[in-house]
A and B are shown apart, each in its own frame.
Chain A
Amino acid sequence: MSTYADPYASSRETTEGTVFSVTGGDWDSLVTEIGQAKEERVVVNMGPQHPSTHGVLRLVLELEGETVTEVRCGIGYLHTGIEKNIEFRNWTQATTFVTRMDYLAPLFNEAAYCLGVEKLLGITNDVPEKANVIRVMMMEFNRISSHMVALGTGALELGALSPMIFCFREREKVLDIFEFISGLRMNMAYIRPGGVAQDLPAGAVDKILATVKDLRHSFKDNEKLLVGNSIWMKRTEGIGYLDLAGATTLGVTGPVIRATGLPLDLRKIQPYSGYENYKFDVVTADTCDVYGRFLIRINELEQSLRIIEQCAEKLKSLDGAPVMVADKKIAWPAQLSIGADGMGNSLNHIREIMGTSMESLIHHFKLVTEGFRVPVGQVYSAIESPRGELGAHVVSDGGTRPYRVHFREPSFNNLQSTSAMCEGSMVADIIGAVASIDPVMGGVDR
């Protein structure tokens, strides 16, 4: 027990322990005290429960009047121990965990992890073409849905309500596609080591193309609302400035570094999953500010649509092609299918293992309970998530469980730049700066 005497909570010792009587302060004495202070330095806690900090982010602001002199981020409020938990699950089960880290970009988490596991297994080139095309298509749809939230909530935080309504409407269309293909709208665990969980349902390509057409049309609404809007530009131009030198030293990636004019996009410079086969442009801006990052996100939507169209074109000729590696020692045996109640085991598969083939049952049991082994080693696989470089450092000890998986989360690294962007600015500009980083706390804290 400390001997510190709190003027507003006197205490006395009883047989039950110390009892405090909280009396509260006297406003008059408080105001007089502040009036006597020489400087106007105020420390304000913004968050962790605050509508404009993108989830449970806590910002400790030191203010002098309206000017922010120091910003410190408090994170960890959404730490879930996913990296620790997957050390106790087999390699395939881990996809179910990692998909929940950055909950706005679940397919990217799965892809980074699975590409790492495939690299360790040495089967990167054995992943069937159709699986790669589906992965790319799903990731680009996911980029759209993630950017929709970034733009919608970003605008909402700066006081513009309509863009949020439009953005969430478009996002809903993308989530419908996810539900149609994987059975789930979020946290799909759809990308698995070796391929994807199941083939596209009948009529998928037509539905995808129809959605692309629909989205392209409705993105114009958002553009008209915000691009060139003078109120919006006053809140975003020249705000949250971070130049190339600052971005590289702080390890900032994604739209924030592309807004400094550097076309750093891993899809182009270090392609994975066959991105080298698609035509698209890397969008950059040279303003280093919130408006530039906003424009990049707006323009990346069109590039994602272009990639999805090319995917749909490829998928037309890949009907019935495999979506999992041929090695039955790795491929998940339960052929999943979407029934009336969502994704589940295919009834044909259940019939086979329970009714006709003892060997199939043994194989299924071994692979599902025990899992496959991954050779000893460590790899780092990086992909371009909507927020920047998402890297998975995957270490195996040769067992059926990951020995250690560490995620290099773009939100985590990008959030570090908050201080560099905001110190010296107005309080109101912090909101815009943080929104332009687009941190997702599930990813930051993991």
Chain B
Amino acid sequence: MSDDQKGMFGTEGTGDTSGYGGLVPSPANAGSTERPYGGYFDQVTDDLERAYPDFSDAIERVVVDRGELTLHIKRERLVEVSLILRDRLKFEMSMGVSGVHYPEDTNRELHAVYHLLSITNNQRIRLEVSVADTDPHIPSLVEVWGGSNWNERETFDMFGIIFDGHPGLTRILMPDDWQGHPQRKDYALGGIGVEYKGAVIPPPSDRRTYK
């Protein structure tokens, strides 16, 4: 995915010379999954479509991968859909927000991923919102699930995603006057090389990487 990764010993492709690694490229990050999704996922998407007529406009992609359902959702519709998921589809709990930074995903660099749990139906789904680095605004879900408060603060702290409407969006893990957002891919890990018997072992971020 990253262009700056360097191959090992000048090999192309995966560098797997043995031929029995057994890995095939997975199209998980591209395109929508076709119906039927299997399991309870058809049921959940059907229920959501019935309860929310604008489904096709709000949901950009439906991805089912490794037995998990991800709804890629437009940020303008996030709060409306979340309310329906909570009240009509019984997703009572939001298990948190995790950010992911994809610098190569132009104009959708920052992703916020919400993990929802329905206790009533014993189901899990995931919402994913992507925004551009230049406009990192996502509406806050604190009004829907109060527990999102700290999770959104953490994602702001680590990625710089601004959750509009959050009651107090401040840093939570890093010091208040910290510069930058550490979990972004353009934020260096730091560290210093260690000398041992004349050779220098570089810091982890400068060590050789493999494709």
- Which residues of A are in contact with B by a Cβ distance under 8 Å? 75-76, 79, 81, 83-85, 87-89, 119-120, 122, 248-252, 262, 264, 269-270, 327, 329, 370-373, 375-380, 382, 389, 391, 393, 395, 397-401, 403-404, 406, 408, 412-413, 415-416, 445-446
Contact = CB atoms under 8 A, between A and B. Distances in A.
Contact of A252 (B18, B147, B209): B147
B14 A373 contact: yes
A403 B209 CA distance: 13
B73 to A, nearest CB: 15
A244 to B, nearest CB: 9
Contact of A370 (B8, B149, B151): B8
Contact of A79 (B1, B174, B189): B174
Contact of A270 (B16, B27, B94, B122): B122
Query: For the complex, would chain B's binding face be called helix, strand, loop or mixed by DSSP majority?
Result: loop
Interface stretch (B40-48, B95-103, B132-140): B95-103
Nearest to A79: B173
Contact of A251 (B25, B145, B172): B145
Contacts of A382: 95, 124
Given A83-B183, A373-B23, A88 B189 contact: yes
A260 B1 CA distance: 46
Contact of B210 (A81, A327, A395, A400): A400
A251 B29 contact: no
Nearest 7 A-B pairs (CB), nearest first? A251-B147, A406-B98, A397-B1, A377-B28, A88-B204, A76-B173, A375-B26
Nearest to A405: B98
A377 B148 CA distance: 24
A122 B204 contact: no
A373 B182 CA distance: 25
Contacts of B189: 84-85, 87-88
A107 B209 CA distance: 28
Nearest to A251: B147
A403 B117 CA distance: 24
A397 B182 CA distance: 19
Given A76-B172, A412-B150, A376 B1 contact: yes
A227 B8 CA distance: 62
Interface string B3-23: 001001000001110101111
Q: Which size bracket describes the interface of B in this complex?
A: 35 or more
A302 to B, nearest CB: 25
Contacts of A413: 95-96, 147, 150-151
A248 B119 contact: yes
Given A81-B182, A327-B22, A377 B147 contact: no
Contacts of A373: 14, 16, 21, 23
A120 B23 CA distance: 11
A380 B205 CA distance: 26
B98 A401 contact: no
A396 to B, nearest CB: 9
A397 B65 CA distance: 14
B63 to A, nearest CB: 9
Given A395-B100, A397-B2, A377 B65 contact: yes
A250 B92 CA distance: 10
B209 A401 contact: yes
Contacts of B2: 397, 399
A268 to B, nearest CB: 10
A294 to B, nearest CB: 23
A281 to B, nearest CB: 18
Contact of B150 (A372, A380, A416): A416
Contact of B95 (A84, A249, A376, A391): A391
A408 B210 contact: no
Nearest to A379: B66
B37 to A, nearest CB: 16
18 contacts: A76-B173, A83-B158, A84-B189, A249-B145, A249-B147, A252-B147, A329-B20, A329-B21, A370-B8, A371-B210, A377-B26, A391-B96, A397-B1, A399-B210, A403-B1, A404-B101, A413-B147, A416-B147
B172 A393 contact: no
Contacts of B207: 88
B172 A408 contact: no
Given A83-B183, A84-B183, A391-B95, A375 B146 contact: no
Contacts of A412: 150-151, 154
B113 A378 contact: yes
B24 interface: yes
Given A248-B92, A395-B100, A413-B96, 12 more contacts: A83-B183, A119-B66, A120-B66, A122-B66, A248-B93, A329-B18, A375-B26, A376-B1, A376-B26, A380-B95, A391-B96, A393-B98
A380 B126 contact: yes
Nearest to B5: A399
Contact of B93 (A87, A251, A375, A379): A251
Contacts of B24: 375
Contacts of B76: none
Nearest to A83: B183
A380 B68 contact: yes
Nearest to B95: A408
B124 A380 contact: yes
Contacts of B28: 375-378
A63 B66 CA distance: 51
B122 A269 contact: yes
A408 B21 contact: no
B211 interface: yes
